């Protein structure tokens, strides 16, 4: 009993910190929308009066990056506050194939090859809309951090009533000891590389939160020294 009370007292500040961070993410997401709109509108006015140049182009790029961050923050806040998600039977194969088509322009731009190694059907328990968000986040992350002319592989495996989707891409210099830390909010393994690729530090935290809302588990592993793999384990459902 005493040990239980001491443990509860010890983790109370940690719980309070996490809750404060959740409130901050929600509040900051809303508060940043207005000044960002003003900055974007001001850049538009400058272009109308003085013409476009490298400075206004830079402003628009940064506004777009910040808008992406804000949307991720608000979505993360939404899933933090979500009490229950309606789960149904979902076939992941057409979902992932559609995702590959949507992301084709990004893949083509970086000359990347996306390989889908999937069966004809793959039925799992989940929410179709949020699973689309989850896999888009993971594929977007893989595309951003994969160098040009490389390959990204999506494959599946099944065992003991579960289905695992693995998204694997080259990332030879990623430190194995940071595989769990990358799911923390605002975490960046390589600040310069994250900024260069447009990473926000929110995407993988959001991906894990969405996975958990679907009753799924998301983890990262290093299958070998040259690659990183994100694995989503979901409950299997019959066709």
Total domains in the chain come to 2
DSSP 121: -
The four Cα atoms 193, 32, 138, 77 give a dihedral, to 10 degrees, of 140
C-alpha to C-alpha distances, 112 to 50, 105, 148, 206, nearest whole angstrom:
38, 10, 6, 25
pTM of the model: 0.73
Same domain, 178 and 102: yes
CATH for 108: 3.30.565.10
C-alpha to C-alpha distances, 77 to 24, 70, 82, 171, 198, nearest whole angstrom:
9, 11, 9, 29, 21
Same domain, 65 and 115: no
Task: Identify the domain boundary among 35, 59, 83.
Answer: 83
Same domain, 230 and 131: yes
Strand partners, 88: 126
Same domain, 116 and 16: no
Model confidence pLDDT, tens digit, residues 136-163: 999 999 999 999 999 999 999 999 899 9
Same domain, 211 and 114: yes
Task: Identify the domain boundary among 40, 66, 83.
Answer: 83
Domain extent for 174: 88-235
Same domain, 79 and 63: yes
**Residue the block writes with tokens 């595309």:** 143
Model confidence pLDDT, tens digit, residues 4-21: 444 444 444 544 444 555
């Amino acid at each position: 009993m005493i040990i239980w009370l001491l443990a509860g007292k010890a983790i109370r500040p940690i719980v309070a910190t996490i809750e404060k961070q959740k409130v901050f993410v929600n509040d900051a997401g809303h508060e940043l929308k207005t000044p960002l709109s003003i900055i974007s509108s001001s850049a538009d006015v400058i272009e109308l009066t003085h013409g476009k140049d490298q400075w206004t182009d830079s402003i628009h790029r940064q506004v777009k990056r910040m808008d992406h961050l804000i949307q991720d923050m608000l979505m993360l806040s939404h899933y933090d506050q979500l009490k229950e998600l309606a789960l149904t039977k979902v076939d992941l194969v057409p979902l992932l194939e559609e995702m590959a088509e949507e992301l084709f322009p990004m893949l083509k731009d970086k000359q990347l090859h996306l390989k889908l190694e999937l069966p004809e059907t793959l039925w799992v328990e989940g929410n179709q809309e949020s699973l689309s968000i989850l896999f888009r986040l993971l594929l977007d992350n893989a595309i951003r951090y994969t160098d040009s002319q490389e390959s990204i592989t999506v494959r599946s495996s099944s065992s003991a009533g579960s289905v695992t989707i693995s998204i694997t891409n080259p990332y030879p210099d990623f430190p194995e000891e940071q595989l769990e830390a990358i799911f923390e909010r605002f975490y960046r393994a390589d600040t310069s590389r994250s900024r260069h690729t447009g990473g926000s530090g929110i995407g993988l935290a959001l991906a894990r939160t969405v996975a958990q809302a679907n009753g799924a588990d998301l983890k990262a592993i290093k299958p070998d020294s040259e690659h990183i793999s994100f694995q989503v384990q979901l409950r299997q459902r019959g066709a």
